[in-house]
Every structure is written in C-alpha cells, then in structure tokens.
C-alpha cells in the first residue's frame, strides 16, 4: 500500500458520544500507515472552504490523548450543517476546495456524519471523477438517529440508546414515587428527526425490575392527538404512574409535525430540515388542561447525544472500527463509498465491516420496519429489542478528575 500524500478528516452534523472514537480510529490508521500529516477540518467542510485546518499531530500526541479523545463527547474538530451546491454552475466552489487539498498535498479526505454529510462525500467524489482528480473520498457513518441505509446500524446510536434506556428506567422509578396518591404522567421527548429508532430504544428499559414505558410513539406511524388523549384517560383508570416516550418528529395524518401545534420554529437548516422540538410540552399541557392529572414533560434534547459518561463500549469500539477502516480503504484506493456495519450474528454478537456506494446512501433515510411497530402504533415489538440490545452492551468508563469526567478540547 503506497501512501501518496496527507489525509484530512472532518466531522459534520449533530454530534454523538462516540464521533471522536471514529476520529481516533482515523488517526491511528493514518499513523500505522505512515501518513506524514493528519489534518482536521475545523467545523467540517464549511471550515475547509475557509482553509480553517488543524494539524492533528499538534493536538493528539500520544496514547493518553487518544484515550481521552475516545471519552470526549461532541465533535472535537467542531461540526457544521453545510450543503455543497450542485456542481454545474458552481464549479468555483469545487475549484477552491480542490486547490486547498492540493496546497496541503491532501490525497485522502474522510467525512464523518449522517445522511446529509454523506451528500458532501458524494459531491466531492463526483467532482473528482468528472475532472480526473486523484484524491480519494470516504464516508464514516455517524448518527444517533440510526437512519443511514445499507448499514445495520450507525455509530452513535448505541450510546444514545443506552442513555435513553437507562434514563427511562430512572424516570419510571421517580414517576411512581407517589404510589396510589395521585395520577402522575410524564411525557419524554426523544430526538431522531424523521426516524423512530432512538425513541424505540425507550423499550430497552423494560426488564425484571422495570415495566418500561406505557406507550411509545414514533414518526413512522401517524399521530392522532385525540386518540392519544383517549388512551391516556383509559390507562389512568388502572394505573397511577404513566410514562410515555414520544419522538420529536411525530406527525399528524396531514403531514404536519405535532410540535408545530405548539408554535414551533419555522426555520429550516441548509438541508431543509425543520427544528423539531416541543411535542412533549404540547402533550403535557393538553393533559393538564383536559384532566385533573399531574403531567410534566422531559425533553432529553442534547443530553442524549453527549452523555459520554454512559457510552456503550460496543458503540465506541465500532465507531473506532469504521474510522480505522475508512482510512485504510482510502489508502487502498477506495473512493465514493461509506463504511458499513453488518451483523453476522446477534447472539453471540458478531459484526463485519464493509463499504457501499455513497450514491445509494446520501440523503436517504432508513425508517423502522412497519412490522416492528405494534399496538396500533403505540409500541415496538420484541424484534426491535433483539436488534438494539447488543448495541448498548458494555461501558467505556470516563477518566475522572475533581469528580467529573475529563475531556480533551481544541482550546
Ligand atoms: O441528526 C441528529 C440530530 O441530533 C437529530 O436527532 C436532531 O433532530 C438534530 O440533530 C438536531 O440538530 P441541531 O443540533 O442542529 O439542533
């Protein structure tokens, strides 16, 4: 394997607890292959366009730094939500980017992100093949939403799912504290955008010591607020403590997001996505207004993607693995592809890594199979639990100082 130049890596989109494990994998693969310069994009492709580049050799110097990097949540290099324009008519953007790559003798570009970020890998590799450029472009999967196609699951999901499962158990315990003395209802709003994988992870809280949530609402099934109220009132006839998981992206039958009913923001990001937030508050307010029950809502918000103190070891190891392999494949000459994870056995849990054409992946969202959604769209089947359980197994323990986890940062 002849290394032809330097490497650059970027992180993009919403972060996860293990995105930096993928960065660690890239750094180690590059070091193992004898790459001279390992660059990082400061704030993804948006930073690269401004030539805002970090020499990673200056920041991650030894095994101790790498160990801390793996235990640091959010994106060490900073992230962005930047959409590259179509090539035709915007050649100057690409000429600028490729001139920067040439200036630093960068032959390998790796981009770590979700569906939208894979669009960047697609555009760059398309431009390179159109103009006979030698650079290689590889995608590294990442998203708590778990909605990238062609891969069994996405790094970042396992740790977020572990946080959801553990926190749901704790919320369910707390919610039951008043026993028979009052009806206590808690709505838990969970991220995941248009896919319900992460909300479904609330079912992983169920076990011998926990009844699990009473209902789970996913964007894959239309949401009817009147039916929801009917079900809550029915449940309250037999149960005083009720906990319900609801996806931030649940939609009404007419296609509107339920969170829009509470006057959510109309702002769109570069990829045309609405900011989804507020469905939990809306539902809790309705319960308060229409019943005598006590209702509250909890929005996990960014906690679910940065809770590195509860990182799944399986997830962290896989995140490292896909980063390492993406670099190796680029060195071998692979381009225009994303690394994927295949589960060859769930019990015992065995995975293999591969790679797939980026054109089949960019901008495509993978949803929960309808057959896993049960009880008229209010729960998930055991099949989902069997699928997701192995992904949350094991813990990557933080390093502590002064009672709190230690992180490594660029500052
Ligand atoms: O795509 C990951 C994700 O965390 C989604 O679950 C969520 O809807 C979105 O990012 C939030 O984006 P931002 O960090 O831009 O607010």
Domains and CATH numbers, the chain: 6-143+308-363+395-405 (3.40.50.450), 157-306 (3.40.50.460)
Query: Ligand 1 mean position to 409 CA, how many Å?
Result: 22
Mutate-to-test residue for ligand 1 from 115, 193, 280, highest number of ligand atoms within 8 A of CB = 193
Q: Which of 12, 14, 218 for a ligand 1 pocket mutation test, highest count of atoms within 8 Å of Cβ?
A: 14
The residue written with tokens 């939990």 in the block is 280
Report the DSSP beta bridge partners of residue 75: none
pLDDT at 77: 98
3-state secondary structure of 104: coil
Contact call for residues 235 and 242 (beta carbons, < 8 A): yes
Phi-psi region of 192 (alpha: psi -120 to 50; beta: other; left: phi over 0): left
Is the Cβ atom of 74 under 6 angstroms away from ligand 1?
A: no
Q: What Rg, from alpha-carbon coordinates, does the chain have? A: 22
pLDDT band for 264, please (50, 70, 90 cuts): low
What pLDDT score was predicted for residue 3? 86
210 CA distance to ligand 1 middle (Å): 29
User: For residues 167 and 205, what is the distance between their CA atoms, to the nearest angstrom?
Assistant: 8
How many CA atoms, within 13 angstroms, populate the side-chain half-sphere of residue 309? 9
pLDDT 10s digits, 327-364: 999 999 999 999 999 999 999 999 999 999 999 999 99
Q: How does pLDDT run across 2-37, given as a tens digit for each residue? A: 888 999 999 999 999 999 999 999 999 999 999 999
- Residue 185's contacts (CB-CB under 8 Å, 6 or more residues apart) are 232, 236, 242, 243, 244, 284, 287, 293, 294, 295, 296
Dihedral sign computed on CA atoms, order 349, 396, 410, 4:
negative
CA of 204 to the centre of ligand 1 (A): 22
272, pLDDT greater than 80: no
Q: Cis before residue 311, ω within 30 degrees of 0? A: no
**pLDDT tens readout for residues 209-227:** 999 999 999 999 999 999 9
Mean pLDDT, the chain, rounded, equals 96
Q: Is residue 270's pLDDT more than 90?
A: no
Judged against a pLDDT cut of 80, whether residue 151 lies above it is answered with yes
| Cβ within 8 Å of residue 234, ≥6 positions away | none
pLDDT digits (tens, 9 = 90+) for 310-331: 999 999 999 999 999 999 999 9
153 lines ligand 1 (CB under 6 A): no
Q: Is the pLDDT of residue 140 over 80?
A: yes
Please list the active-site residues: 145
pLDDT score of 265 more than 70: no
Q: Which residue has the tokens 């929960």?
A: 368
What is the biggest distance separating any 2 CA atoms in the chain, rounded to whole angstroms? 73
pLDDT recorded at residue 370: 98
So what's the pLDDT on residue 2? 83
Query: Is the C-beta atom of 144 inside 6 A of ligand 1?
Result: yes
């Amino acid at each position: 394997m002849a290394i032809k130049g330097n490497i650059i890596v970027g992180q993009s989109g919403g972060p996860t607890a293990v995105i930096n494990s993928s960065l660690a994998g890239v750094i180690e693969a590059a070091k193992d292959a004898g790459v001279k310069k390992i660059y990082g994009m400061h704030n993804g492709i948006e930073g690269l366009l401004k030539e805002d580049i970090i020499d990673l050799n200056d920041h991650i110097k030894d095994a101790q730094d790498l160990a801390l990097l793996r235990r640091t949540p959010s994106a060490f290099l900073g992230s962005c939500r930047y959409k590259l324009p179509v090539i035709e008519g915007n050649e100057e953007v690409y000429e600028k980017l490729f001139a920067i790559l040439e200036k630093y003798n960068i032959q390998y570009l790796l981009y770590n992100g979700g569906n939208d970020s894979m669009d960047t890998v697609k555009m760059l590799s398309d431009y390179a093949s159109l103009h006979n450029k030698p650079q290689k472009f590889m995608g590294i999967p990442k998203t708590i939403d778990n909605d990238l196609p062609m891969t069994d699951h996405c790094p970042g999901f396992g740790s977020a799912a572990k946080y959801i499962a553990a926190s749901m158990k704790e919320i369910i315990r707390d919610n039951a504290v008043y026993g028979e003395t009052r009806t206590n209802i808690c709505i838990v709003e969970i991220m995941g955008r248009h896919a319900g994988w992460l909300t479904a992870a609330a079912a992983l809280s169920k076990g011998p010591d926990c009844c699990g949530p009473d209902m789970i609402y996913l964007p894959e099934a239309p949401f009817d607020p009147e039916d929801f109220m009917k079900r809550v009132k029915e449940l309250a006839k037999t149960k005083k403590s009720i906990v319900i998981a609801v996806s931030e992206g649940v939609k009404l039958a007419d296609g509107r997001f339920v969170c829009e009913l509470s006057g959510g923001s109309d702002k769109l990001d570069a990829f045309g996505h609405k900011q989804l937030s507020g469905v939990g508050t809306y539902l809790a307010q309705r319960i308060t207004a229409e019943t005598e029950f006590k209702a509250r809502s909890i929005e996990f918000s960014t906690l679910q993607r940065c809770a590195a103190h509860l990182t799944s070891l399986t997830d962290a190891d896989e995140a490292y693995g896909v980063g390492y392999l993406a670099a190796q494949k680029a060195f071998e000459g692979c381009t225009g592809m994303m690394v994927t994870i295949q589960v060859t056995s769930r019990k015992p849990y065995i995975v293999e890594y591969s790679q797939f054409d980026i054109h089949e992946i960019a901008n495509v969202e993978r949803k929960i199979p309808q057959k896993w959604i049960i009880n008229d769209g209010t729960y998930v089947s055991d099949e989902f639990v069997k699928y997701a359980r192995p992904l949350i197994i094991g813990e990557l323990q933080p390093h502590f100082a002064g009672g709190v986890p230690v992180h490594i940062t660029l500052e």
